[in-house]
Amino acid sequence: MKEKAMPKYLQLKQEILSWILSGKLHPDEKIPTEHEIANQFQLSRHTVRQALGELEKEGWLYKIQGSGTFVSRPKQKEQIDSKTIGILTTYISDYIFPHIVRGAEETLREKGYRLLLASTDNNKEREREQLETMITQPLNGLIIEPTKSAQGNPNLEYYLSLNNLHIPYVMINARYLEVSCPCVKMDDEGGGFLLTDHLIRLGHQRIAGFFKTDDLQGVDRLKGFIRAHQEHGVALATSYLISYVTEEKETKPLEAARLFLQQSQEERPTAFVCYNDELAIKLLDVIRQQGLSVPEDISVVGFDDSTFATATEVKLTTIRHPKAEMGAKAAEMLIQMIEQQTGERINDVIYKPELVVRESTRKV
């Protein structure tokens, strides 16, 4: 069945709302006239009047008789009594994210806050849409995981709108470089260093690294990987560095691993450092397909100490991720920002990496 198109007045309403939320239109600024908007979008005056009427009814616009229509001032926090917190992550039901959400949810519910959950599916356009939707809700605050944080922030205008609307927010796992909100994250560089240092101390000299570099976590883990080689004086061939983005995660690292394993024993890597446990488990399958064993032929390490780390017959050496604890801490920080209302700077929380050694690594 064909999906029914959104009515034209609602499409126009969303467009004008995006002007307000993005800062294109400022509080108390006069918006274009009905006639100008009708001409710009090739719509009837009736359709324009409908859209403006909805925005006026919802409090985004106000009219002054004889002068025109103007943008309303942001609603003050005192007007919000719903005690609602939004949580916006790249994913909700995959990998470690349910644990993070659960940790935040438990803390927020204890304090009487209702949750509004959404995900971006690691897509920046989707992040824009979700931010726009969230901002239109009567929110007290937001917990946000940035989408592809290493690829810039095309949605900066919406984060500025959060500031203008006095909606506090905390970021988890990473923080966009342009914003100055509190952040709860891992020391990802330290984790990448610990994993690589562990392998080098076991005698590995040919270590391949697989890192997803469209987010800052992956970039920092790669930095730690390189730093460990430098500090130990171990040469790192550029061919042993495999970087990929989200859209390539099911193909590029697996194909690269397969090519590595088809080399002679004297040339192929003796260890793999993986961006996360999810990738490590997939590479275990590739290694088996090539007739090789872990850790007898090749050592493998992951990151996050997820349920994947102990779900196969080979238990992964990995870095512990404080999943639920991180979610709870982000919630505590946000509640402090909402309820204290002092404007004091809240410091970042950065968790030290903890190496968890299991049976997927061994001495060369």
Tell me the CATH number at 303: 3.40.50.2300
In a domain, 260, yes or no: yes
User: Is the domain of 128 the same as that of 167?
Assistant: yes
Strand-by-strand arrangement of the 169-172 sheet: 114-119, 84-89, 141-144, 169-172, 183-186, 349-351
pLDDT of 101 strictly over 70: yes
- Average pLDDT in the chain: 92
Residue 65's SS3 state is: coil
Whether 332 maps to a domain, the answer reads yes
**CA atoms of 58 and 354, how far apart (whole Å):** 49
At 357, the pLDDT band (50, 70, 90 cuts) reads very high
Does some domain include residue 76? no
Number of independent structural domains in the chain: 3
CATH number at residue 44: 1.10.10.10
pLDDT at 319 > cutoff 70? yes
179 and 133 share one domain: yes
- Residues 187-227: tens digit of each pLDDT: 999 999 999 999 999 999 999 999 999 999 999 999 999 99
Let me know whether 194 and 299 are in one domain: yes
- Please tell me the predicted confidence (pLDDT) of residue 74: 67
Is 3 a domain residue? no
**241 and 338 share a domain?**
no
Best mean pLDDT range from 72-76, 176-180, 241-245: 241-245
Judge whether residue 48 has pLDDT over 90: yes
Tell me what pLDDT residue 340 has: 81
Check residues 108 and 58 and name the one with the higher pLDDT. 108
With respect to residue 360, please indicate whether it lies within any of the assigned structural domains: no
Q: Quick check: 1 pLDDT over 80?
A: no
Q: pLDDT class for 323, splitting at 50, 70, 90? A: very high
Average pLDDT over residues 133-161: 91
- What are the beta bridge partners of residue 273? 209, 301
Same domain, 182 and 329: yes
Residue 344's pLDDT band (cuts 50, 70, 90): confident
Element (H, E) at 301: strand 299-301
Give the model's pLDDT for residue 345: 83
Percentage helix, strand, coil for the chain under 3-state DSSP, each rounded to 5: 45, 15, 40
Determine the pLDDT at residue 107.
95
Q: Where in the sequence is the domain holding 103, given as residue range(s)?
A: 84-186+324-352
- Same domain membership, residue 150 and residue 29: no
What's the pLDDT score for residue 3? 41
Please tell me whether residues 99 and 245 are part of one structural domain: no
- Residue 360 clears pLDDT 90, i.e. is over it: yes
Same domain for 102 and 115, yes or no, is yes
- CA-CA distance, 284 to 29, in Å (whole number)? 59
Query: Is residue 141 domain-shared with residue 16, that is, in the same domain?
Result: no
